[in-house]
Amino acid sequence: MIRVVLTLVLFLAMTLIVSATPGKVNLLTMRKLALHNNLTCILVFGDSSVDPGNNNHLPTTFKGNFEPYGKNFFNGRPTGRFCNGRLPTDFIAEAIGYTKIIPGFLDPHLKKENLLHGVSFASAASGYDDLTANLTNVLPVSKQLAYLKHYKLALRRIVGQAKAEEIINNAIIVMSMGTNDFIQNYYLEPIRSKEFSVQQYTDYLIKCMTRDIKELYAIGGRRLALVGIPPLGCMPLVKTLMGSTTCVKSYNDAVLSFNNKAKAQLAILEKMGVKSVYVDAYGIIQNAIKNPAKYGFTVTAKGCCGSGEIEFGDTCRGMKTCEDPTKYVFWDAVHPTEKMYSIIAENAINSVARKIFV
């Protein structure tokens, strides 16, 4: 535990998560919180924002296990992460001191010690709406939760029933999805858009999200970090398809509607016993786009891969990339760069420290 705390303190100091800025958590407080709250591991659910490669093992075309993905990952190798490097959950894992990456649960090389440190059940192209995942033959949240039950059984075989329960009870559960529900489902396919208005669909997604969180609680999850949907209207792909040079307001309005409802729902679910924090990915990315110099960015309107305006996933395969991804908010026309993800992770860790570890 001492090693974990020291590693956490060092990492937070290096990334400026802990500072003298009002609202930030100082080093002494963070040390006490880490000791007192017995953080065990990270369990992850969602889409490509947190999928470290589970889709590599599924019969789907939504994969990122080829170059130039992984260009800035360890040894410059593609892993299935839709990024040039690590994901937010990888940075969070490093912060708590257990490991530098969170592996996918479907990884055939997964070891027993990996299970103790945490795993990701996320699947790129998934969403709160099971139809979203079914459209692309990836893991819906219902299947991700089924794998959590398998994970729990595996833990029991390793450490016994009581310890397995403790690990899940004290884990930080990260949920990050919703992008595909709008971009690949509602605004592209005719099914949900004929069935629901935008506001009705956001209500439907909140209903799905609530169901999933209640299922997590039933399995043993007690600490939740819910990541809001990012500003979809500012994604290079969306702007290109909509013929806009500025962020598309209708997309962003839909996202804000969902995010506001999600925050309100979390407050209700806390009465059930789920300690939760909302990670404002929308606000964080919007701030980086509006104030790029503050974070060292110089390019906010396009991605680093190919033209940066439309390529992502398979259309990014083998494409040339920009010289310095750290200057870009977006890696491809949809997904943020490793640097942008590290900024989101910093905010997530600080929020968890202030709102869950109390």
Beta-bridge partner residues of 97: none
Distance CA 103, CA 145 (A): 16
Residue 149 CB neighbour total at 10 angstroms: 12
**Longest C-alpha distance within the chain, in Å?**
57
Query: Are the C-beta atoms of 44 and 120 separated by less than 8 Å?
Result: yes
Long-range contacts of residues 65-68, Cβ cutoff 8 Å, at least 24 apart: 66/317, 66/318, 67/317, 67/318, 68/305, 68/316, 68/318, 68/319, 68/320, 68/321
Instruction: Please compute Rg for the chain using Cα positions.
Output: 19
Residue 36 CB neighbour total at 10 angstroms: 10
Active centre residues (catalytic) = 48, 332, 335
